[in-house]
Amino acid sequence: MIRVNILTPQQAEKLGLKKTSQNSGSGIKAVGCIVEGKHGEEGKIVEQMILRENNETELIFMEKEREKDLKNRGQFSEYVKQFKKIPEELK
């Protein structure tokens, strides 16, 4: 047992304790995914995205084939513009 030492949020920040959250996996208001499939096959995820509480959208995942398809149709740039953050490999 350890007796607690109550800090203000400012003291916690000054001590570097708040960095542990990295703001990852948190503050999510909405989530979404796209699935594609063909006759005789299982469905597969081709995209995942989230909306954070600050209204920023993030594209989490895009399958290579979908990326290629959007690029072939000239829609890729316009499509990813809607997201505040996209995976490094799509930049």
Partner 1 sequence: MGISKGQTPHIVEGLYMNNGKHHKVWKINFNMPVSCLWTGSCSMTDGWIGSYEGIMESSSRALAANGICPGFEVAESIVTYWWCVSDGSSLNGSACLRQCWTRGSTVIASAASYASISLSAPGSGWQWQFWQMAYMTGADSDEVCCDSYYCADTRAQQISGDDVSISNCNLNLYWGDVPSTSRCSSPLMGYIWVEDNNLNFINGNQWEHSMIGECIGWVGPSCAGAIYIDNNHYLNWVGCSGNLYRACWRLCQFCSTFSNSSGPNPSPGASYAGALWMDQEFGYTHLAYIGCDGNKYIAGAGRDPTE
CA distance readout (Å), 50 to 13, 46, 58, 71, 80: 27, 14, 5, 22, 13
Max distance between CA atoms of the chain, in angstroms, equals 62
Q: Which of 67, 69, 77, 84 binds partner 1 (CB under 8 A)?
A: 69
Convert residues 14-53 into a mask of x (bound to partner 1 by CB under 8 A) and - (unbound). -xxxxxxxxxxxxxxxxxxxxxxxxxx-xxxx--xxxx-x
Residue 66 CB, nearest distance to partner 1 (Å)?
9
Interface pick for partner 1 out of 56, 75, 77, 84 (rule CB under 8 A) = 75
Tokens of 47: 């995209």
Residue 64 or 73: the one with the smaller Cβ distance to partner 1 is 73
Q: Which residues contact 33 (CB under 8 A, 6 or more apart)?
A: 45, 47, 48, 49
- The binding site for partner 1 (CB under 8 A) comprises 1-9, 11-12, 15-40, 42-45, 48-51, 53, 57-61, 69-70, 73, 75, 78-79, 82, 85-88
